[in-house]
Chain A
Amino acid sequence: MKIDHEVVGLFETCNTLDQLKEEIRQVFRLHHMDDSPRMVNTLIKGLMGGTIARLDESGQYLNPWRRKFLHPHQEATQPEPHRQAA
């Protein structure tokens, strides 16, 4: 499995940015890669679309990881989709 795929999987399973960074660091170590904060942060930034954020018509981030990890406070206040329909 490519390292990129392993890392993408962590974006689904981790809940906080700190946890995500630590898990990615461990994957890098396992693969004998540079596990410095510079490398880890750069990869995370890349997977979140850099510093450009695209918003949908309701003003929500199109990149779901951006909302989950960079704006956790906003994520917590999002209404559940099925409740919205009611």
Chain B
Amino acid sequence: MNAWGLGPGIYPKTQAPQPQAQPHCLCDLSPIIDLIRPNPKFNPNAERAFLESLPAKEARAVAGSFAKLERAKAGESLEAIYNEGKDELYRWKRVGEMMETPQIKAARLSTNAIDAALVEEEKLTIPTRLRPVSQAFNFPDEPEYQPIRRALEAIDAAHDDGQLPTIDVQLVREMEDAAEYAVDNRGKPSIAVAARHPAREFSLVHENGHFLDHQAFSPGVFESDQQKSAMARILEAIRQSKAYQEWETIPLDDARDYLLDPTEMWARAYATWVTRRSGSQRLAAQLAVIDQDELGYWQDADFATIEFEISRLFAARGWL
């Protein structure tokens, strides 16, 4: 086919089809080095003219079927017809496109560099979670538990965790608050989530903050409450925030004590961090709802240092 006015089967090097271009293709690529001042001009009618020049049976074989042949004769390009519905890996590509693929680029690198590139590529596409938080959660495999699954997906997208015991999660229909982290007299925790609350996913993430605090550092004690807490830098960042300065001025002891309690400050910060890190629009919308309903949250800029410190702690523990 003379598609570029250079002669049958001759293409500008980036435009040449990468063999095999079609099932009956017997083409190979070789450079033409004796063209004098070539001036390639694409001819949009070349394919149709080529197909019409072939015996009907051969034209059908090149197009793939009589139906496809008719489409090509009606003006569709063979490239579009071949590539229709195919996985990107199996599409007809041009040599110029192949030169841009990561595989070709990687082939130019040393073996070590290729390995590093592949590891990096895998990290970017598939978050590796050796111990996903969701594995610790025990709840019925029923459709109504979909909000729990959604919240856990966001948590898993945000981070890994350490060794966690299993925890039972229950959806409760008759419950006035969004969720709670309950600890029985033997120290065994469980989580209850209000089935109809509009911020139930975000609330589960908040309770998971309590779960990590209570079980992922020193099992059975709330790490945020300890003198030499692993969360010291996070709590200090919270104390430096503008929001904290406002909470300190509230003239109600019980409300102030709640807002400044390290355990609750940590859980609120953790839930905000997961919301931002996971990129979940649902969690972000629910955070906005909660922020309208109660005190204890931060403006974006006010949260930057807190976010950094949580990421630093989780990275140090190998949870990212």
A residues with a Cβ closer than 8 A to B are 2-4, 7, 17, 33, 37-39, 41-43, 45-48, 50-57, 59, 69-74
A54–B180 Cα gap in the complex (Å)? 10
Instruction: Spot the interface stretch: B42-50, B77-85, B106-114, B248-256.
Output: B248-256
Contact check, A42 vs B292: say whether CB atoms are below 8 A apart.
Answer: no
Q: How far is the CA of A74 from the CA of B292 in the complex (A)?
A: 28
Q: In whole angstroms, how far apart are the Cα atoms of A7 and B185 in the complex?
A: 29
Partner-contacting stretch, out of B33-41, B54-62, B120-128, B261-269: B261-269
Asked if B177 lies at the interface with its beta carbon under 8 angstroms from chain A, I say yes
Contact of B183 among A47, A55, A73 (CB under 8 A): A55
- A55 contact set on B, CB distance < 8 A: 182-185
Q: How far does the alpha carbon of A59 sit from the alpha carbon of B253 in the complex, in Å?
A: 29
Residues in chain A near residue B263, CB distance under 8 A: 50, 52
Given contacts A42-B258, A46-B258, A72-B176, contact A51 B292 (CB under 8 A): no
Please determine whether A70 and B175 come into contact, CB atoms closer than 8 angstroms: yes
Question: Quick one: given A51-B267, A71-B174, A73-B174, are A42 and B295 in contact (CB under 8 Å)?
Answer: yes
Distance from B33 Cβ to chain A, minimum over Cβ atoms (Å): 75
Mark each residue of chain B from 165 to 195: 1 if its CB lies under 8 Å from any CB of chain A, else 0: 0000000001111111111110000000000
Known contacts A53-B181, A55-B185, A4 near B176 by CB under 8 Å: no
Interface SS of chain B:
mixed
9 A-B pairs with least C-beta separation: A46-B258, A73-B174, A43-B255, A46-B254, A53-B182, A42-B295, A55-B184, A41-B294, A50-B264
Closest chain B CB from A78 CB (angstroms):
13
Known interface pairs A4-B252, A52-B264; 10 further A-B residue pairs with C-beta atoms within 8 A, sorted by A's residue number: A2-B253, A37-B294, A38-B293, A39-B252, A48-B177, A51-B267, A52-B182, A52-B183, A52-B210, A57-B184
A-B CB contact pairs (8 Å), 26 listed: A3-B251, A4-B253, A33-B251, A37-B293, A38-B292, A38-B293, A38-B295, A39-B250, A39-B295, A42-B296, A45-B177, A46-B256, A47-B254, A52-B180, A52-B181, A52-B183, A52-B264, A55-B182, A57-B184, A57-B185, A69-B176, A70-B176, A70-B177, A71-B175, A71-B176, A73-B174
* Residue with the greatest number of chain A CB neighbours at <10 A, chosen from B177, B256, B294: B177
Within the complex, what minimum Cβ distance (angstroms) separates A32 from chain B? Answer: 11
Rounded to whole angstroms, the CA-CA distance of A52 and B182 in the bound complex is 6
